[in-house]
Chains A and B, each alone.
Chain A
């Protein structure tokens, strides 16, 4: 008998079926009665208007009163939001509670900062011991000012490109990786402010290494050697030129680095990419220059373009002789423009709902 047939069967005259007839022995005929009982429950006791209810689960040990706390404060304008981004990134270098820079990054910054003060220390030492020879090597002059910001070894091999790579690597790419871009763009922060503040943050940290140490170097000479107004008036243009050279270096490394960071989802690629571009193009240009006596490839090297422009504005002996410094300046402009274009286009496509 099928279920449908069962359904069509006349209703039992009484709901009190004799379930004693149902046999569960191994040789009992299979007639569906047992399954029906399981499906519909026993008809016995249908008349009883009581129900067995499972006891509710006890909840223990959780004391928590959820109270919504309203807030009637006023939100500050745009400059305060931008300051928050800047502060978050820069203060993160110094203390907990802001952007968590990694311990190796912070350690490296400290090491480079101290190493960048080598000329300050030796200037002070030469003044203390009155050594003219030592001072002629380490004291403030055109070549040393140039060397402080744009010297190739060790500063533009071991210090500044690596500092820039460590800083810019994760600044935007980690927002993509962690989805924290949604945190920014679901707030009243536009993309320009987002990029500008991140750019400034990274540039400020680099400036502490490159420009702050330059200033300390210059002022340590004035203080330790008791320089007068005449000396200051003589050398201040050189100092300003070195300052501009250092600023150009920070801008260029930051632009390229952030451009790479914006196309990535991690800090490794942008970091390695920046170092590879700075040192790779330099190496290639040296090889070509040495083999074929052609310097034109230096135009592809960010460091060499910076060095060429820096040599010109500071007034040191030029090491690039086959083309004008204006070509290097134009190349720098193009490099920065390209990097900023990549940066802006990638940031403008960053999503809030999905990344």
Chain B
């Protein structure tokens, strides 16, 4: 259904002189939580500015919540809540007044804005700190205040730019939980740009990955991670024999010392591994499914596949590139 997409772009390009900041971007972002990933200079900021209607695209089209990004910038910004990465609060104001003002800037009646400011600050855990000067806030509290500013009008889409940047573990946990609640219980959509893959993985179901202004990958995180599904075994004795045996059985094995990763080829992969172990007389001390983290996925796409990949289907068609396993060298692994 077309309505399921909160952001759609078609051949969206933006150039600054000869530099292409965005190049033929074809995106479809579903409702729910989506992570916007990409290295520095990938075009994330340009993309955000373009979908906010703040800069004109050089070519192509796009809609956000059904509004044309070329002509309906103000309508888009009325319906989204933007949480900037950088400082965006007046340190000399009390939190409650800052949040109220952010509501007034959207066109809220001052009395209504004040009431909503109380709700929003309560929601982000600053209920008891509402009348404190923002200058005295910790980084986590400032981030929470920025989130309160973003959600004061109950927007359909919240764009959070590095929401957990610079936070300690407790504040980061709270921010992530808050975003999760906003999506799950508040039924709102979140587009979250972050360098912290763990956070994106916890909050988001989908990712959009940009690289050099192009779309590197988009889709469900689970789907994308499936491309690298492997079984990891720790072998005691007879590792070489086992490796040979598994190779003969048609399994793709990557080995670093006594740790091997075998490409998952079907439901009977584990049975096949055990059979090979029995034949070769090797002991398998540990066996578990190796789940690639989003960070692994990001590195694979960035380093090995680059921006030629357009969708998760392309990724699935591409060969798995060898990577170093994560065991330390002292244990026979390749990493330090």
Interfacial residues, chain A to chain B (CB-CB below 8 A): 3-4, 7-12, 15, 35, 39-40, 64, 66-73, 75-78, 80-81, 84-85, 87-88, 96-100, 174, 178-180, 182-190, 352-355
Nearest CB in chain B to that of A194: its residue: B105
Smallest Cβ distance from A43 to chain B, in angstroms? 9
Instruction: Determine whether the beta carbon of B153 is less than 8 Å from that of A12.
Output: no
Known contacts A183-B102, A188-B106, A98 near B97 by CB under 8 Å? yes
Provide a sorted-by-A list of 26 A–B residue pairs whose CB atoms are within 8 angstroms.
A9-B237, A12-B236, A69-B123, A70-B154, A77-B107, A84-B101, A84-B104, A84-B107, A97-B97, A100-B93, A178-B90, A182-B82, A183-B105, A184-B105, A185-B54, A186-B77, A186-B84, A187-B78, A187-B102, A187-B105, A188-B75, A188-B78, A188-B106, A352-B48, A354-B85, A354-B86
Smallest Cβ distance from A352 to chain B, in angstroms? 6
Chain B residues, CB < 8 A from A80:
104, 107, 109
Nearest CB in chain B to that of A39: its residue: B331
Instruction: Determine whether the beta carbon of B125 is less than 8 Å from that of A64.
Output: yes
Chain A residues, CB < 8 A from B182:
68
Is the CB of B71 closer than 8 A to any CB of chain A?
Answer: no
Nearest CB in chain A to that of B77: its residue: A188
Is the CB of B87 closer than 8 A to any CB of chain A?
Answer: yes
Chain B residues, CB < 8 A from A40:
234, 236, 285
Going nearest first, the 10 A-B pairs with the smallest beta carbon separation are A11-B237, A68-B186, A84-B104, A186-B82, A188-B74, A75-B107, A71-B154, A76-B107, A100-B92, A353-B45
A75 to B113, CA, bound (A): 10
Smallest Cβ distance from A62 to chain B, in angstroms? 10
Instruction: Determine whether the beta carbon of B123 is less than 8 Å from that of A67.
Output: yes
Nearest CB in chain A to that of B78: its residue: A188
Chain B residues, CB < 8 A from A98:
97, 101
Nearest CB in chain A to that of B118: its residue: A69
Q: In B57-82, which residues have CB < 8 Å from any A CB?
A: 73-75, 77-78, 82
Instruction: Determine whether the beta carbon of A8 is less than 8 Å from that of B240.
Output: yes
Smallest Cβ distance from B178 to chain A, in angstroms? 7
Known contacts A71-B154, A75-B106, A81-B105, A353 near B125 by CB under 8 Å? no
A183 to B73, CA, bound (A): 15
Smallest Cβ distance from B309 to chain A, in angstroms? 26
Nearest CB in chain A to that of B112: its residue: A73
Smallest Cβ distance from B283 to chain A, in angstroms? 5
Chain B residues, CB < 8 A from A353:
45, 48-49, 84-86, 161
Given contacts A69-B123, A80-B104, A88-B101, 12 further A-B contacts (CB under 8 A): A7-B237, A10-B237, A11-B236, A11-B281, A11-B283, A35-B330, A66-B181, A68-B181, A75-B107, A76-B108, A100-B90, A183-B88
Instruction: Determine whether the beta carbon of A352 is less than 8 Å from that of B84.
Output: yes
A35 to B330, CA, bound (A): 9
Is the CB of B214 closer than 8 A to any CB of chain A?
Answer: no
Chain A residues, CB < 8 A from B84:
179, 182, 186, 352-353
Instruction: Determine whether the beta carbon of A352 is less than 8 Å from that of B82.
Output: yes
Nearest CB in chain A to that of B193: its residue: A353
Smallest Cβ distance from A185 to chain B, in angstroms? 6
Interface size on B, residues (CB 8 A): 66
Chain B residues, CB < 8 A from A78:
107
Partner of B86, one of A39, A67, A70, A182: A182
Instruction: Determine whether the beta carbon of B108 is less than 8 Å from that of A73.
Output: yes
Known contacts A68-B182, A68-B185, A71-B116, A8 near B239 by CB under 8 Å? yes
Chain B residues, CB < 8 A from A189:
105
Instruction: Determine whether the beta carbon of A178 is less than 8 Å from that of B88.
Output: yes
Instruction: Determine whether the beta carbon of B238 is less than 8 Å from that of A81.
Output: no
Nearest CB in chain A to that of B80: its residue: A186
Smallest Cβ distance from A286 to chain B, in angstroms? 39
Smallest Cβ distance from B203 to chain A, in angstroms? 15
Chain A residues, CB < 8 A from B42:
none
Mark each residue of chain B from 172 to 201: 1 if its CB lies under 8 Å from any CB of chain A, else 0. 000001100110011010000000000000
Is the CB of B167 closer than 8 A to any CB of chain A?
Answer: no
Instruction: Determine whether the beta carbon of B154 is less than 8 Å from that of A88.
Output: no
Is the CB of B257 closer than 8 A to any CB of chain A?
Answer: yes
Partner of A355, one of B86, B106, B112, B258: B86
Instruction: Determine whether the beta carbon of B281 is less than 8 Å from that of A10.
Output: yes
Instruction: Determine whether the beta carbon of A68 is less than 8 Å from that of B332.
Output: no
Chain B residues, CB < 8 A from A70:
154, 186
Is the CB of B223 closer than 8 A to any CB of chain A?
Answer: no
Known contacts A180-B88, A187-B77, A10 near B49 by CB under 8 Å? no
Chain B residues, CB < 8 A from A35:
330
Smallest Cβ distance from A133 to chain B, in angstroms? 50
Nearest CB in chain A to that of B180: its residue: A66
A93 to B61, CA, bound (A): 45
A117 to B269, CA, bound (A): 93
Known contacts A10-B238, A75-B78, A66 near B89 by CB under 8 Å? no
Smallest Cβ distance from A137 to chain B, in angstroms? 44
Chain B residues, CB < 8 A from A72:
154
A12 to B120, CA, bound (A): 63
Smallest Cβ distance from A150 to chain B, in angstroms? 34
Chain B residues, CB < 8 A from A187:
77-78, 102, 105-106
